[in-house]
Amino acid sequence: MKQVHHKHYELGTAPYRFVGIWSAPSKALQEANPSAYNNAMTGRPKACRFSCDHCGTGIEHHCLIVDANGERFAVGSSCIEKLHDTELLEAVEIAKRKAAKVKRKAIADQKRANKQAAYEAELEAQRAKNDGLTDWELQQKERAKALGAKRDAIAVIAEPILTSLRNAGGDFCADISCQILDGHFPSNRAATIVIEIIAKQSGRKGSKAYNAAYPAAEQLFKSIAEQLQ
């Protein structure tokens, strides 16, 4: 078998100094995000030629070292161990962990970006379909329209009570009016107070006119309550 001689088999002159690590961007990144791939390639150190300066094997992760003469080499993570330099190896391991962390973060960021882009694209598709509104916005619009129609219908049926409450004024009457329009008809003590308010339109509480109007007010209240059930 023909022996292969490598250009920098001895890796220059010891001692060596570790100066960093550079990882080649993946082909998947080139296809998914050409701009990010080009940016990563722009930052490629000159010593990184996608092969180990010690053995010539193709490598993705380049461990950058500088020898005693200031010459820079790019070595694979396996070949760097052949230098038997403990401090150098520790520095490489730390750099590898940092690089792996950065890579994981980049992948996570890209996934989030892709998810956000897909979400935005979906919203744009919904707006194109719904005359400028997302599905949620259209749903809210239709809900508000339906609620408005319901309130209008209730207002017609409950008009006598609402008029009495409006004439009486005050926070209580305003709150009860809103509850009625929202479909929540008063009951128990609140119902009694509303009937009294209706009867008071004929006279003060306890007066002859009030007492005469109370049964009709009570019947009116019950009639409207039944229609709104």
Q: Which residue(s) pair with 75 in the sheet? A: 63
Domain regions of the chain by residue span: 17-124, 136-227
**Whole-angstrom distance, CA of residue 70 vs CA of residue 83:** 17
- How many secondary structure helices (H) and strands (E) does the chain include? 8, 3
Find where tokens 């161990």 sit. Answer: 81
At 8 the pLDDT is: 46
At 27 the pLDDT is: 78
Task: Give the model confidence (pLDDT) of 4-60 as tens digits.
Answer: 334 445 577 778 888 888 888 877 777 777 887 888 888 889 889 888 988 888 988
Please name the residues in contact with 110: beta carbons below 8 A apart, sequence gap of 6 or more: 32, 33
Q: Which residue(s) pair with 62 in the sheet? A: 22
Nearest Cα neighbor of 215 from 203, 190, 198, 191 is 198
**Whole-angstrom distance, CA of residue 172 vs CA of residue 160:** 17
Nearest Cα neighbor of 169 from 200, 148, 192, 191 is 200
At 9 the pLDDT is: 54
At 20, phi and psi to the nearest 5? 150, 180
Record the pTM. 0.51
**Whole-angstrom distance, CA of residue 210 vs CA of residue 159:** 20
Q: Which residue(s) pair with 72 in the sheet? A: 66
What is the mean pLDDT, run by run of 10 residues, along the chain of 229 residues? 42 82 80 80 88 88 89 87 79 84 84 92 95 94 92 94 94 94 92 94 92 94 92
At 39 the pLDDT is: 83
